[in-house]
Structure 1
Amino acid sequence: MKIAVQSGSQQVPRFGRFEAVLTVDTDANPYLPYDASPPRGIQPGTGIRVDALLLPPGVTDWSNAVVWPCFWREGMRGAVEEVRATGENGWYLRFAPDRTGRWRWKVRARDRSGAGESEVRSFTVTPSPNRGFARVARADRRYFEFSDGSVLPPIPGTHENSPTSIAALKGSFTLCRTWWNGTAALYSPWDLGGQGGRRDWGQAGLLPVAPSPGLLSARTGIGGKNPMIELLAARGEAGKRYRWRALVKTENVAGPAKPNERRGIGANYGPALRLTDNADGTDAPVNKTWLHGDTDWTWIGGDFTLTRRQGNFRWMKMGLVNCTRGQAYWHEATLREVRPDGSLGPELLETPNINRHVRYSQVAAHRADMVLAAAAASGVLLKLCLFEKQSHLFGELTESGQYGPYSQTNIYGGPDPNVVGANRWYQRAAVRYFMARYGWSPAVHSVELLNEGDPANPSHVKGAAVHFIRYVHSFTYRKMMANTTFWHSFVVPEGADYADQHEYIEKLGKMGPDWPGLDTARLMRTIGDSRASRAHDLNKPYVWGEIGLGGFKADNTQGKGGTEHVLLAADRQGTWLHKATWANLGPHPAYLLWWWQDAIRAHNLYTVPAAFRAFTAGIPFNNGRYRDAKAETAGGLQAVGQKDVQQGHAHLWINNPAHTWIAAARGAAVPPCSGTVTVAGFTPGTYRIQWWDTRRGQVSREDTARVARGAPLTLRVQNLASDVAVKVIPARQAG
C-alpha cells in the first residue's frame, strides 16, 4: 500500500495544531477501522486503519512513539447553513504536541489488501502560552486543571451548539456542553435524529431492507403521515443543470392514479424526485427510469434545470408519484451539478446515504470543525455529548449486527463492558473518528457517551458507560476525560473522571417559601454539602451537567415544566445566577452548566461569570492546600470561602441572605446587613484585605488587618446591600 505526504506543518506552537495532508492508496471504507476479526454482523476486513507514529524530542525508538489516528476528510466551505463540498478530499493528521523541540513522524496504514508506511518527516514545536489539555487536578481533585498545572476555576458554564453562540461566550462562561449526537444532527457526522432533532431521510422509520446485510433503508408509501423523504441539500442556483440519482427497491407499486396528470407525468408513475414549481404549485417529477410492481435494487434518476422560482431550494423530496398502491425503499441518493463540459460537481446532499454510521456526513463534520474553531478562539472548553439514547440508527442496531425494533438495549449493548458486539463496534468507530478529527484540540474538555441514560440499567451504568470510558482512555497520549449522564440520581460509573448529574430545581423540594430555588446561594450550600461533597469523597470534581430554575409561575405555584421560572425575566441583574456563581467559592465547588438561556440572553448576564473570572484569576485552587475557611459571622451575614493558612491566603464571599433573586425580581425592599466575619488559623502578622465589587469584578477598596497570636482574622462589614468578595493576602506579598 502506497502512502504519501502531500503537505505538513514545519513549525507549530506547543499545543497548537500540527496538520498534514496524506494520500493513501486504498478503496476501503475510510470511515471504519480495519478489523480482521470483527464481531458478528460486520464483514471481516472492513475499513482501513491509518495511524501516525510520532517521536517526541529525545525519543529514538519507534516502539515508544505516540500513536494517533488519522481521518478521511472531504473538503467543504461555507457558513453553517450554506456548507457545500469543494471536491478537495484526502487523509489528514491533526495532532497537538505537548513539548517543544524537534518531533519525527511517519504514517502507517492497513486494510484488507495489505499494509504500508510513509517516509519519515519532522516538525519543530516552539513555546506558546497555550495551557494544554484539561484534566482532573492532581493535587486537589475537586477541581479541573490544564497540562501546565494552571487551574480551571468553577466558573459557570452553559449549553450552546452553534459557532456563533459559542463565540459569544468569550471572556464569560468557560465550560460549554455541546451536542454532536442525533438530537443535534446538524453537527453529528455519525447519527440521524434523536429527541425531536431534525432527521434527513424523513420520519417514516428505518428498515432492515438494503442491498447489503446490516444496513438500512427508508420507506415511502401512499398517503400516511409522512409519505415523502426529505434530504437537505446545498442551495441550488437557478439556470443550472443538476443530476439526481437514487438507489431504490419497490414492492407492489401500481398506478397511474391520474393518467392525465399535468406537468408531463401522463401515465408515468413510481418512485421519483419531486420538484415543486412555486408558480402553480404542481409537482415536476424528475425521472428517466420508472419502476413498477416488484423490483430489486435499481438506480433511477434524471437531469433537470432549476427555474428562477425553484432556485433557492434546500430540501430534495423523494417518494412515490402518481401511484395507487405500493411502497418504495430508498437506500442512497446523489445530487450533483452537471457542468457545461459534462463533468459532475461535488456532492450537494448533506446525507447521501441513510447509513450515517458507516458513511459519516462530511457536511456535519465540517460544521463540527467550525464549532471547535469558535471554541478555541474564544477560550471556551467543550463538553461534548457524542451519542443519543433515542438514536434512530444505533437504537435499532443489535449486538449481532442486524436491525430490528428500537430498544435502548441496542444503544447500551449489554451489561458486560468487555463484550463488543456490532452496536458497540460502530460506536467505537465513531469515537475513533472523533479523536482523530477533533480530539487533538485543547478546546475539548471531555466527552460523554450519551445524554441522560438510564441510571438503573446495568447495561448503561456497568456496560456501555464503562466500555466507552475505557475506550476513550485508550488514546493514552491525551487520555481525554470521559463519562456519561443520567436523567436522575447520583451515579458515577467505574473509571469516570468526574461526577456528572442532571437535575432541575423545579424538581427539588416543595413549592412555597422553603423551595431551594428561591435562594440560589442557599441552594449551592445545600448541593455542596450533599452531592458535591459525595463526588469529592470519591476524589472527583462535581459537574452539574444540566441545571435550571423552572416550572413555576409568578406566585411560585407549579407552572409549565420544561421552561424557566417566569420571574427570572424580572430579575434584570441576574441575581439568581450571580449568587449561585459566587457561592461556589466554598469548600465543595460545583461546575454548573445552566440549561435555559432566555434570561441570560435577554439581560446580557455574560457579565456575571466574567466578574467571577476576574476575581478567581491567579487563585491556585488546585494547589492541595486550600481548606474550608469555616468563617464565623455575626449581624446576620453569611460567608463561604477557603483558606491556605500555610501561605496566608484566603478568599471569601460575604452575602446578605435577605437579598435573594426572588426579592430582586419582585422589587422587595431588603434591609442592609452589618456585622463581622472571623476566620481562624492565620499566622500572627499583617494582612492586606482586598474588597471586590462582585458585579464589576474589580477591587473596590483595600485595607489591612492585624492578626494577634491565638486570635482570628476579623473583617468588619457595614451596610451590605447584596454581597462582597474578599481576598486575604500577607502584607509582605504583592498582587
Structure 2
Amino acid sequence: MFLPVFVLSALSCAASHFCAAAAVQIAQGPSRVPAYGKFEAIIDTDARHKNPYDYDDISIQGVFTAPSGRTIIADAFYFQDFLRRPGPPDAPEGREILVPAGQAHWRVRFTPRETGTYRYRITIRNSDGGYTSPEYNFSAEAAVPAPHGFIRRSATSPHHFEYESGAAYFPVGQNLCWSRNLPESVTGHHFPSNGTYDFENWLSKMALHEANFARVWLGPFNELTLERRQEPGRSDTGLRRYDQEAAWRMDFILAQSASYGMSLMLTLESFNSLRRTLLPHVWRRNPYTAANGGMLRHPWRFFTDKKAKSAFKNRLRYIIARYGWSPSVFAWELINEADLVEGFWRPSVSRWHREMSAFIKRTDPYGHLVSSSYSYLEEYFPFAPPGGIDFVQTHAYGGRDMAAKIVRLGRRKAGWMKKKQSIMPHVVSEFGVSLRDNSPDTNADAHGLHIHNALWSSVFTLGGGAAMTWWWYNYIDPMDLYFHFAPVSKFTRTVEWNRYRWKAARLHASHGRIRALGMTGEPGMPGSRPDGRQIALVWLQNKDHTWHRTAKLRKYPRPVKNAVISLRGLRDGTYEARWIDTWSGETLKTTSAVCKGGLVRLKVDRLSNDVAVAIKSRI
C-alpha cells in the first residue's frame, strides 16, 4: 500500500524558481517491507521536461540511507500501468489485450538488503534546477524464510555462482526469448500474439519440472522491445523513449518468475538490430538509424558513435531502474551474438563492451552480473576489470552427437580462459540440433534426446549452469519436453558447487563406446568448507545413445557390459559412490569405492544409455 500524498510546498528546494514553476506529489511506499522485498514510491510532477524517459532531460532519484549508514542511489523511471485481459481465442492478433490504467508517472523501486530503518529522500533535476524532498523512512524486517539475495560469482569456485546468502546457484532452464508472435516480415510466418499469456504458460511448466532459470530478450523485434522506432500517436516510441506495454510485460514476467523462484538473464540487444541482410534483420526498424530519426547510417557505428552510446546508456539506466531491484534478475546480457553485427570490428566492439559493462557496474546499485554472447568468436570477449564481463557464454548448433559438441566447445572455452588467465563461469546459453526454425532434424527427435545429452554433458564439463535449449515455442512446448529439466535440477541441488575448487577429472573407460566426463573437487577455503571431504562427479554415456542414431537412423544403443572406469585425482581412502538415474534424478544404488595409489576403479555392469555417479570420501 502507499501512504498519503504530500506536495511540493513541503519540499526543500535547491532553486526557488524551480519550486515556483513545478508541482510535485509523492506517494510514499509501504512503511514496512521484508528484507530483499520491493519498496516502491510514486512521484507525479509537472516539472519541465520534453521527454520523461530521457535522464539528461529530467532525472528523478531516490537517495536511500541504510541502517549501516551506507548511501544507495536508485534512479526513478517513467511508468504507465495496464490491466491485462484475454481477447477471443481466435482473434487474429492473439489473446493478450493491455488497457492503460490510471495516469503515467514516475516510480522509484528499491530493495533493502539490511534489516532496520531506512531513510530516504527524492531528488529531481531538470533544466530549471533541482530540489530535494524532506527525509522519510521505512522499516526493513527479517523475512521468513530468509531470502537468498542476489546472485554472484562464487568466491571459492571460479566456475560457479552463488547467492549472497552463501547458497550455491546452478542455473537449469531454457531460452524464452519471445512469445509466438514474431512479425511476418521477420519469419515469413504469422503467429498469434499471446504475449504474457505465453510466458505464463511456459514458466509454470518449467517450474513444475523444477527449472530455475530462463533467458529473455528485451527486443529487438518482439513484444518486449523497449526502444523501437517512432509509431504514430505513441509518445512512448522512438529514440530514448520506451514502449510502456513492453515494459509492463517484462514487469509481469519478472513477477511470475519470482513467484516460482526462477531467475532471468535479460538480453538487452541483439545483432538483428544492426544488420541489413541475414534474416531475421530489423535494421530498417531500428530507432537509431538516420532513416528513423536517429544518428546511424551504418550498423557498425552503433559501437563507436557518441550519441548512439549515450542513448544506449540511457536505456540501460531505465532498465536498471525498473527491473534491477529484483533478486530474480540473474544477469544483464549486453548483446546477443555481437560478432554477427554488419561491419563487425573487434577493437571497437571490445571497447564498447568494456564501456557499457563499466557503466552498468557504476549504475546498478545491486551489482548484477554482466555478460554478452558471440556466435563463434569467443576470443573477442573483454575481460579485464573494472569493465570486464562476469561470465562467458557459448552457442552450440548442429552435430549428430550433442554431448560430443558440448564437450568439445567446453574444453575449447576452458583452454582459452586458461590462456587468458581469467577463469570464470561458462554457460552454454543456446543449443540446438539445427539453426533452422521447425527443422525436420529437430522434430525427428520427438523425445528430446539431444536435450538430455546436452544438459548432462554441460554439467560435467565444469559448466556454470546446464546448457539452455533454444526452440522453446515450436519444439519444447508442443512436444512437452519439460520433463528433461527435473532430473538435472534434482542432481545439481545436491552439490555445493560454490564450496569446492573444481578441476576436470582424469578418467579412462575400458570400453571405447563409453564417454566418461567428470570433475574432482577439493574443499574450499576455511569458512567455506562443506565438510572437509573430497568429491568427484562423473557422467558415463553410451556413445550409441545419440539423437541422430536413435531418431534418424532408428538404431538403438548396444549395451556396454562389464566395463571399468578409472578415476585419478583423489586421495587414498574409502569413498561412497552414489549412482543416479539421469532420467529421474533418483538414486539407483550406493556402493563403496576404494582409492589406492590415487586410483579409483568403478565397475559398470551394463550401460545402455547414461548414468551419473557422485563420489564422496567417508570420514
Q: Does the Cα contact within 8 Å between 1:10 and 1:124 map onto a contact in 2?
A: yes
Q: 2:156 aligns with which of 126, 139, 145?
A: 139
Match of 2:121 in 1: 106
Match of 2:187 in 1: none
The residue matched to 2:468 in structure 1 has which SS?
A: strand
Q: Could you tell me how far apart the structure 2 residues matched to 1:520 and 1:618 are? A: 25
Deviations 1:58-115 (A, max 9, x none): 21xxxx4111111121221114821111124332111122222222222111111221
Query: How far does residue 406 in structure 1 lie from its aligned partner after superposition?
Result: 4.1
1:162-311 alignment to 2 at 5 Å? 162=196, 163-164=199-200, 165-170=202-207, 171-184=209-222, 186-192=223-229, 201=231
Query: How far does residue 706 in structure 1 lie from its aligned partner after superposition?
Result: 3.7
Query: Larger C-alpha radius of gyration, 1 or 2?
Result: 1
Match of 1:69 in 2: 75
Q: Could you tell me how far apart the structure 2 residues matched to 1:160 and 1:628 are? A: 32
Match of 1:670 in 2: 557
Query: How far does residue 355 in structure 1 lie from its aligned partner after superposition?
Result: 4.6
Q: Does the Cα contact within 8 Å between 1:394 and 1:410 map onto a contact in 2?
A: no
Deviations 1:602-631 (A, max 9, x none): 432212121101011131222342222212
Match of 1:689 in 2: 577
Q: 2:315 aligns with which of 406, 430, 454?
A: 430
Match of 2:175 in 1: 158
Q: 2:489 aligns with which of 613, 618, 634?
A: 613
Q: Could you tell me how far apart the structure 1 residues matched to 2:217 and 2:507 are? A: 41
Query: How far does residue 492 in structure 1 lie from its aligned partner after superposition?
Result: 0.2
Q: Could you tell me how far apart the structure 1 residues matched to 2:239 and 2:537 are? A: 50
Match of 1:595 in 2: 470
Structure 2: any 5+ residue segments left out of the alignment?
Answer: 1-18, 86-94, 179-195, 275-281, 524-532
Amino acid at match of 1:609: F
The residue matched to 1:659 in structure 2 has which SS?
A: coil
Match of 1:540 in 2: 424
Query: How far does residue 437 in structure 1 lie from its aligned partner after superposition?
Result: 0.8
In structure 2, relative to structure 1, the CA distance for the partners of 1:677 and 1:378 (3 Å cut) is same
Match of 2:510 in 1: 634
In structure 2, relative to structure 1, the CA distance for the partners of 1:405 and 1:107 (3 Å cut) is closer
In structure 2, relative to structure 1, the CA distance for the partners of 1:527 and 1:15 (3 Å cut) is same
Structure 1: any 5+ residue segments left out of the alignment?
Answer: 36-46, 193-199, 202-331, 334-351, 415-420, 506-516, 551-560
Amino acid at match of 2:317: R
Deviations 1:336-362 (A, max 9, x none): xxxxxxxxxxxxxxxx13852244222
1:452-463 alignment to 2 at 5 Å? 452-454=337-339, 456-458=344-346, 460-463=348-351
Deviations 1:646-686 (A, max 9, x none): 51222211111222222221331322113112323434443
Match of 1:94 in 2: 109
Match of 2:267 in 1: 385
Q: Does the Cα contact within 8 Å between 1:172 and 1:606 map onto a contact in 2?
A: no
Match of 1:51 in 2: 61
Q: Could you tell me how far apart the structure 1 residues matched to 2:355 and 2:458 are? A: 33
Amino acid at match of 2:64: L
TM norm structure 1: 0.67
The residue matched to 1:450 in structure 2 has which SS?
A: coil
Cα RMSD of the aligned pairs, angstroms, is 2.7
Q: Does the Cα contact within 8 Å between 1:652 and 1:727 map onto a contact in 2?
A: yes
Q: Does the Cα contact within 8 Å between 2:396 and 2:405 map onto a contact in 1?
A: no
1:689-728 alignment to 2 at 5 Å? 689-708=577-596, 710=597, 712-728=599-615
Match of 1:659 in 2: 545
Q: Does the Cα contact within 8 Å between 2:24 and 2:47 map onto a contact in 1?
A: no
Amino acid at match of 1:498: F
Q: Could you tell me how far apart the structure 1 residues matched to 2:358 and 2:346 are? A: 16
Percent identity for Structure 1 against Structure 2: 23
In structure 2, relative to structure 1, the CA distance for the partners of 1:526 and 1:34 (3 Å cut) is closer
Q: Could you tell me how far apart the structure 2 residues matched to 1:476 and 1:447 are? A: 10
Query: How far does residue 3 in structure 1 lie from its aligned partner after superposition?
Result: 5.0
Q: 1:364 aligns with which of 238, 246, 250?
A: 246
Q: Does the Cα contact within 8 Å between 1:188 and 1:364 map onto a contact in 2?
A: yes
Q: How many residues align?
A: 531
Amino acid at match of 1:12: V
Deviations 1:365-395 (A, max 9, x none): 2112112112222333222222332453443
Amino acid at match of 1:182: P
Query: How far does residue 188 in structure 1 lie from its aligned partner after superposition?
Result: 2.2
Q: 2:84 aligns with which of 65, 78, 84?
A: 78
Q: Could you tell me how far apart the structure 2 residues matched to 1:118 and 1:402 are? A: 37
In structure 2, relative to structure 1, the CA distance for the partners of 1:564 and 1:525 (3 Å cut) is farther
